[in-house]
């Protein structure tokens, strides 16, 4: 965010500034909305698999359903898009890890908001958090929040959750961590 903000602030051309902003919004949507949609697809696919083998045609139907739900009527999906799920190997090999992308993006934005508000000592607290990694109170809080998000979303809420609910949960967790960083 700091690099993006520096680029935006240094750009005098309004058209280029709009292009930078549009690119950032697109990047955020791809990171949050797309990853939540991937999670939704994985949930549907694994639910189908509990019933038995799943034909590639059915997997394609689930993929299209989720893409239409998450991206809406702005996109015109052609029938051949139904196989695009196959280019993402983690659906089979490392399922359900995509929440980390959404959580990370929301966390960065929440922490950047705290930074922009000018909270005293934020920069040192942030550096201390990075140095601590998984140790120390902030590191433990991050691990705890990550666990709560993972456990809450994926073991309890997720089977009935909408993508919007999952996005709000991730954003709330990231905001909670940013609040913790203010007080730490």
Closest CA to 114 of 62, 182, 176: 182
pLDDT of residue 154: 44
pLDDT of residue 100: 73
30: Cα separation from own chain's centroid = 8
Q: How far apart are CA 70 and CA 66, in angstroms?
A: 6
- The domain segmentation of the chain, as residue ranges, is 2-93, 99-183
- Indicate the pTM of the whole model: 0.61
Burial class (CB in 10 A: 0-12, 13-18, 19+), 3: exposed
Residue with tokens 């990231």: 174
Residue 71, both tokens: 């991206």
Read off the DSSP letter of residue 155: I
**CB-CB neighbours of 152 under 10 Å:** 16
pLDDT tens series, the chain, 184 aa: 889 889 999 999 999 999 999 998 888 878 888 888 888 898 899 899 999 999 999 999 999 999 998 888 888 899 999 999 998 888 777 777 777 777 777 777 777 877 888 877 778 877 776 776 656 665 666 655 554 554 444 444 444 455 555 555 555 555 555 554 444 4
pLDDT of residue 151: 44
Residue with tokens 């280019």: 87
């Amino acid at each position: 965010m700091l690099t993006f903000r520096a680029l935006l602030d240094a750009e005098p051309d309004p058209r280029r500034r709009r292009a930078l902003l549009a690119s950032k919004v697109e990047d955020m949507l791809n990171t949050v909305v797309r990853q939540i949609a991937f999670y939704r697809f994985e949930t549907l696919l694994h639910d189908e698999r509990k019933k038995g083998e799943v034909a590639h045609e059915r997997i394609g139907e689930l993929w299209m359903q989720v893409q239409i739900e998450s991206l809406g009527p702005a996109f015109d999906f052609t029938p051949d898009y139904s196989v695009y799920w196959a280019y993402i190997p983690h659906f089979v090999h490392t399922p359900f890890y995509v929440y980390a992308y959404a959580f990370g993006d929301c966390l960065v934005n929440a922490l950047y908001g705290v930074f922009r508000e000018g909270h005293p000592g934020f920069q040192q607290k942030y550096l201390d958090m990075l140095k601590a990694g998984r140790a120390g109170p902030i590191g433990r809080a991050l691990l705890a929040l990550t666990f709560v998000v993972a456990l809450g979303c994926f073991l309890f809420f997720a089977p009935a959750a909408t993508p919007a609910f999952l996005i709000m949960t991730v954003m709330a967790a990231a905001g909670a961590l940013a609040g913790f960083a203010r007080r730490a």
